[in-house]
Structures are given as structure tokens and as C-alpha cells.
Amino acid sequence: MLASKKCEFCDKRGLPLLLVRDAVVPARSGAPETKGPPIALPPTTAHYTKRLLRSGYVNVYDEARQRWDCYFVTPEALLYKLSLTSILSSLLTPTGPFNCTIEGHREAAGCITISDPANATSVWIGFSDTLWTPNVRKANEDRELRRRHMVEVDVRSIMAAKSGPHEPIRQVEAVVTEYALPSPRIKPLIDASPFRYCACFGGGEKLVKEFENIRAGKGLIVTVPDPAGIVQELAFLMTHLLEAFIAKNPTDQRNLAASAGIDQIKASIVGKAETEEIEAARMAASRMEAIDPLGHVLSESTRNKTANVREVTAAELDRATTSAWSKYGRKFDDAARQKWRAEFDAKLKAFDEQSIAPLALRHVEWFKSAAFTDYLEFNYDPSSALCGAAYTNVVTSCIAGTQDKTCCSKLYVELLQGNFQDKKNVLLRASILNQSAVAESIEEASRVALNSRQIPWDSLFEVYKAAMEALDDNSTNGLALYIAQISGPVARILGKVVDGRPGFHKTLMMLGFISGDAVTVFEISGKRSQFVRYLAKQMIRTSGAVISENQLRAAVSLELERLRIRGMRVEGSRKLRWVVSADRASIENLPSGMSRVAQETQLRSSLRSVEQLESLRLERWRSVINQKVRWGVVTAILQAVCLTKVYEDEETSLANEKQDARWRRVAAISGLVGTTCEVIGGALRARASQGMLYGQRFLSWSGWALMQLGRSAGAVAGLLMAVLDMFKAAETVKENGLG
């Protein structure tokens, strides 16, 4: 029996159960390999094991007594019983950390007990990332609903000593990873998991002894379904394996860093050489005009000769860049560097096909599974914004770092075009914090709005505001983390919007809710040179360079000339669709109290030209993202898509261009999107650690992962892959892509 002194953790009486979950671990990690869920993992890469529960909540339903109990699972995998009468109060966790020193109480604190098991029948146990509301608890009184996401423990069979699906507690050291492996062998598993490991090696005997003290011969290990944990672990493991592949060979690490550094140096030198060549030609022509001003007035041949001096050809730029780089290139063995890079890329591609891609396919399978969608449908109250914030953060963790995997991205694009009222479409539901009222308003609006101009923004935001009344701005900022993790799939859909394809106004509504302002599609007319000049300005500003207006004008003029020489069309006129999330700060002379529909109408009437587009100062997203993170992230994605469209020339096939000219365009847009990802990642990293109001603390790794994508955007960033698709270069990139 337990000692008479009890603490809030270890007052356990009845039938003792050690609750565990199915978890994903790398293959050959030494963790016990156990029979897991029906979705098989690739055996050369990963396998299932049993692990202690991650931090969250355990809900227990005793059928015989028709009674609910709720436990908080601490980060140390201890279970603290909550009072249902005060479950919505501020006291959602224990009053202090576990510090009981009584023999056996640490072991008792890690289990739950079924009281009076002799009179119990079936007991149902479920895990959730969030506290249940009374609505959710009431719904789960339905046995069929419980069967879809909870585990049933047949207490009568256990008490009758009948065999069942649960392992006896004496198997704990053979089954549960935390009890099976010593700390040195746990370390690699810690690095490969987003969830904390609580090393219990050597504690199995004490645990069995304590279970025997509570109820001799009856203690069991019960596996509680946790599909959200599995999906998060698959996402994390893919990132971990890629990092480990690169890190295992210090030579590869050094060569990658050196190669990237050389490429940056070369890009800087080449860009400077091109600029200097253009400036030199301009200066030479200006001197000729200064020396003979009258001749330039009277003689056409003189004017033509000067114009020829001012005109720089692509061949002359090539000679200038070759000469400039030759002074540095001889210091590097570029042939050896290219040879190593080709060999490394081949190894990386093989590793991806053998390890990453199979996990990505399993991730897709799990994401579409009934177990996963049931978990999110039956644990979260679709009328509670508090639950909704936790819902979105959990889904964000499940997709973090996966959008660059081809099969994952394809699934996300498909889901984003679905029905918001479909509770199985967890990706869409996460975009609106799982709020059914908001889902209904979007679907109703989509039925009456034949195009983006007819979206009833005022009524939509009234519904949204009412649904989110319980949340502050920080709680809804999890949406910024969410949208960043699907920025690539969203960009693919926006590309269709910009192309004029009909039927995507629900995506605009979703982005409007996330940004906090109406998202509108405009048709901008102007000279090609004006669009290219606008693009050049945005790229210079996005680079973060601090320059004066005069310096900006000079830099834009040089960039416009360089792009023209390199083959970009600057003659003639064109029309482009531009997608804008226009906040009040974007619209000049806006009267106070104006409705969103009126704002949009005024914006439409005043936004026709490139100059008017520039007046919106959309590049402000960089400077305001830390204060308006949701608007900043959405605007960054919209700008990346629209600026990419400026680079496109629908009348000229890229197949007719030289390879180097084609990849100059790719490099330019890669730099733009890479910088965008890095700025977004920096802002989100700070936000990611600020927590969730109604669930456990959100993992900060997703913000960190996005920063890494920004630093190496040419390799794996989902947003980059999306814009390169629009840029007609994706097939080349995908040959070396991941997943």
C-alpha cells in the first residue's frame, strides 16, 4: 500500500495503468520496436516504439459510473488530476513541480488508477493537446464517438485475468523506450524528436513494485492513441535526417559553406562588374556629348556614334564579368568544386529517395487518415476560439518543414481548395482556428460572390470578430506561423489567381482573415519599363540596404538597364493582376469609420497604374512584421507571387534563352524569396515561443526551421519552389529536390 502521506500527484488507488503512446523513432536507434498503428513505416528509416505520454491532457470515462476524470500530463510525464468543477479556472496545472520524496511516489505519479475496479466495466482513455470544453465532454458520452479516438480498457476482463491487448507492467523495460535505454543511448533520440524524453532507465523494478503495492498482479501498460504526435514526429524526423546527413561528413559541411560563400562572392563581383560596365559606357557617352555639344545637335551620325558608345551589349557584359571574376576565380579550383557538388547532389538525391521521400509519403498517409482527422474533430470545440488557437498550433506543428516535399505540397494544394465546413479538412479548418461559424460564413459568401469584387468583407469580418472575441492578438498570431508553413501551396493557388483563373475567392477570404484586412485583386496597367522599375525597387528594398532616395533612383536606373540588356522586355505595355492586403496605413486620405467594402471600393478606384501601386508602400511588411506579424507574413507572400509575375514574359519562351540568362532570372527571384523567408523566419521565431492559451506551449522549432529555409532558400524553401513553378524553372530544380 502507499504511505499514508499523499501529495497532489501520487494519491493513486485502484487498478494502476501506465499510459504510453505509439511514437516514431529512427531505425537502428536501439529503441524497442513494437507493433504500431496500421500505417507501416519504411523499415530502413524509422519504426514505431512505445513512449511515455507527451505533455497534454488525458480524459478518462468510466462507463459504469458515467463519470469523467481529467489529468494534466506534465513535461516529466507525470499525471496530475484536475477538478472538473474548476477546469476552466486559471488553475490548469499543478500548484508546483513534483518534489515528493516518499518511496514509490514518483512511480505512482506517472500512472492513473481506476477506482473500485471490481465494480467497473469499460473505461475509456483519450489524449488531447487541449482541455475539453463541456460541449466536447458531452459529445464524447457517445460510445461510437469515443471508439473513434480513445482506447477502451475492459476492466472486467482484466480483473478476471483474461488476456487482452494491453501489456503487463512487468514488460515495461522491454516495451517502453524511456525505461529501456540508458541516458547515453537516449541522446540521439532526443535530437530526433520534437518531444521531451524523460529518462527512466533503471526505474522499471521500482515501478513494478509500486504497481504491485497498489494492486497485485493487475498493473498494465495501456497505449493511448496520439496520431497528432506521430504526424509531428514524422515531420520533425525528416528535417532531422536531412541535417544529420549533411552533418555526418565535416568535409561536406565545409565544402557546402565554402561553395555557398564562393557563389555569394561571385554574384557580388559579377553584379558590380555589370554595373561598372554600364556606368562606364554612360560616362563615356556623356563626355562625348560634353566635348562636342554642337555636333550632337547638328549631326545625326555624331549622335548615333555616341548612342553606340552608350549601348552595352550582353556580350560586353559577359566579357566584363568574365574579366572581373578571372582575378578571383584562379584562386579557386572551380572544376573541382563543380565536380564535388555534382557528386554531393547525387548522394543527396539518393538519400532523399531512400530516406526522406518514403517518410513524406507516410506523413501524407497519416495526415489523410481517419485516426488523425478524428483526433482533431473530437478533441476540439468548434465554437471555442480558445480551443481553436490550440488546434491551429497543433496542425502547424504537424506540417512544419514539410511543404517542400512534393507529395506533401500536392496534398496541401488540394486541401486548400476544399470546403471549410468539412471537419476532416484539418488544413483549412486550421486557417480559421477551427471555428464553424467562420467556416459557414465563408462557404455562404462563396456561393453569392461570383468573383473577388463581390466578397462581402464587412459581414465576413463581423462573424470573424464575434468568433474570436475571447482571443487577444497574441493568441491569433499563431496563424502567422501556420500560413508560413504552407506559403508554397498558397503561392501556387495565388499564381492561378494572378493568371485570372476563376474560383479561388475562398482563398482570398482565408488570407483576409489571417491578415486582418480585405485581400483584393486589382488589374494594373503600365509600361513594361514601369513594372520592371517597380520590381527593381522592391528587390533593392527587400535586400535590406539602407540608401537615400537619390541612390535608390540611380540603382534602379542601372538595374533596369542591366535587365534590358540581359533580355527582359521593357518596351511596350502590359496588364498584370496584383493581389493586395491593404491595411488602413496603405490607403492615403482614408476617412475614419469607413467600412471594409468602402475601403476596397476606394482602393479599386485609385489603383490603376504602377505609380498608384507604389503609393501603397507594400514593402512596409518588412518594417512592421514584428508589430503586425499576420499582415506582414501574408503581404510578403502576396508580394513574392506578384513580383515573380513581373519577371515572367508570357510572349517569350524560356526555351529560346541561353541557360545562363535563364538562371540569372532564377537567381534573382531566388534571392528575393530567400530574403523574404529569412525575414519571416526571424519574426516568427520570436512569436513561436510565446505559447498557447488553451493548450501546451507551442514548439519553437518551426520558427527556427523557417529561418533555416530563408538562409538556404535555393535548396528547400516551399515558397521558392512555388514561385519557380510559376517561373517555368521548377522541373530543373525538382531534379535535385527533396521528397
Q: What is residue 737's predicted lDDT score, i.e. its pLDDT?
A: 46
Q: Tell me the pTM.
A: 0.87
Q: What is residue 705's predicted lDDT score, i.e. its pLDDT?
A: 40
Residue 534 DSSP label: H
Q: What is the mean pLDDT of residues 651-659?
A: 44
Q: How many residues does the chain have?
A: 739
pLDDT of 671 over the 70 cut: no
Closest CA to 711 of 685, 681, 737, 688: 681
Q: Cell numbers of 387, please?
A: 480551443
pLDDT of 615 over the 90 cut: no
Which tens digits make up the pLDDT trace of 424-443?
999 999 999 999 999 999 99
Highest mean pLDDT among 463-467, 541-545, 677-681 belongs to 463-467
Q: What is residue 150's predicted lDDT score, i.e. its pLDDT?
A: 98
Bridge partner residues of 128 (DSSP) = 57
One-letter-per-residue 3-state SS of 377-422: HHHCCCCCHHHHHHHHHHHHHHHCCCCCCHHHHHHHHHHHCCCCCC
Q: What is residue 712's predicted lDDT score, i.e. its pLDDT?
A: 35
Give the pLDDT band of residue 8 (cuts 50, 70, 90): low
Give the pLDDT band of residue 316 (cuts 50, 70, 90): very high
Closest CA to 118 of 75, 159, 154: 159
- Cα–Cα dist 505/455, whole Å: 8
Which tens digits make up the pLDDT trace of 260-308?
888 888 888 888 899 999 999 999 999 999 999 998 888 999 999 999 9
Which tens digits make up the pLDDT trace of 137-150?
999 999 999 999 99
Name the one residue in this structure whose C-alpha cell is 565554402.
258
Which tens digits make up the pLDDT trace of 34-44?
988 999 999 99
pLDDT of 95 over the 60 cut: no
Q: What is residue 543's predicted lDDT score, i.e. its pLDDT?
A: 66
Pairing of strands 220-223, 15-26: parallel
pLDDT of 323 over the 80 cut: yes
- Residue-averaged pLDDT of the chain: 83
Give the pLDDT band of residue 533 (cuts 50, 70, 90): confident
Which tens digits make up the pLDDT trace of 628-641?
888 888 888 888 88
Q: What is the mean pLDDT of residues 467-494?
A: 87
Which tens digits make up the pLDDT trace of 227-264?
999 999 999 999 999 989 988 888 888 888 888 888 88
Q: What is residue 728's predicted lDDT score, i.e. its pLDDT?
A: 52
Give the pLDDT band of residue 413 (cuts 50, 70, 90): very high
Q: What is residue 285's predicted lDDT score, i.e. its pLDDT?
A: 92
pLDDT of 154 over the 80 cut: yes
Report which of residues 319 and 584 the model is more confident about.
319
Q: Are 41 and 23 in contact (CB under 8 A)?
A: no
Q: Are 314 and 567 in contact (CB under 8 A)?
A: yes
Torsion-angle region of 183 (φ positive above 0: left; ψ -120 to 50: alpha; else: beta): alpha
One-letter-per-residue 3-state SS of 271-303: HHHHHHHHHHHHHHHHHHHHHCHHHHHHCHHHH
Q: What is the mean pLDDT of residues 544-570?
A: 81
Chain centroid to CA 694: 21
Residue 290 burial class via C-beta count within 10 angstroms: exposed 0-12, middle 13-18, buried 19 and up: exposed
Worst-scoring range by mean pLDDT, 471-485, 650-664, 694-708, 723-737?
A: 694-708
- Cα–Cα dist 212/685, whole Å: 47
Percent of the chain residues past pLDDT 70, beyond the cut? 79
3-state SS assignment for residue 505: helix
- Cα–Cα dist 556/593, whole Å: 38
Give the pLDDT band of residue 704 (cuts 50, 70, 90): very low
Q: What is residue 672's predicted lDDT score, i.e. its pLDDT?
A: 65
- Cα–Cα dist 538/521, whole Å: 19
Name the one residue in this structure whose C-alpha cell is 521558392.
720
- Cα–Cα dist 70/20, whole Å: 16
Give the pLDDT band of residue 92 (cuts 50, 70, 90): low
- Cα–Cα dist 441/138, whole Å: 26
123 phi, psi to nearest 5 deg? -120, 130
Q: Are 467 and 435 in contact (CB under 8 A)?
A: yes
pLDDT of 697 over the 50 cut: no
pLDDT of 513 over the 90 cut: yes
- Cα–Cα dist 477/484, whole Å: 11
Distance (Å) of CA 357 to CA 172, 241, 367: 33, 11, 15
176 phi, psi to nearest 5 deg? -95, 125
Which tens digits make up the pLDDT trace of 160-197?
888 788 999 999 999 999 999 988 888 889 889 999 99
Q: What is the mean pLDDT of residues 393-399?
A: 93
Which H helix or E strand runs over 262? helix 250-291
Q: What is residue 9's predicted lDDT score, i.e. its pLDDT?
A: 61
The b-or-e profile of 555-564 (16+ CB within 10 A means b, else e) is bbebbbbbbb
Give the pLDDT band of residue 720 (cuts 50, 70, 90): low
Give the pLDDT band of residue 727 (cuts 50, 70, 90): low
Q: What is the mean pLDDT of residues 416-426?
A: 97
Q: Are 42 and 237 in contact (CB under 8 A)?
A: no
Which tens digits make up the pLDDT trace of 364-375?
999 999 999 999
Residue ranges covered by each domain of the chain: 15-225, 229-359, 369-734
Report which of residues 295 and 661 the model is more confident about.
295
Q: What is the mean pLDDT of residues 39-50?
A: 96
- Cα–Cα dist 21/18, whole Å: 10
Q: What is residue 183's predicted lDDT score, i.e. its pLDDT?
A: 82
Bridge partner residues of 223 (DSSP) = 20
Residue 120 burial class via C-beta count within 10 angstroms: exposed 0-12, middle 13-18, buried 19 and up: buried
Sequence-ordered list of residues with C-beta below 8 angstroms from that of 373, at least 6 positions apart, any chain: 423, 424, 426
pLDDT of 89 over the 60 cut: no
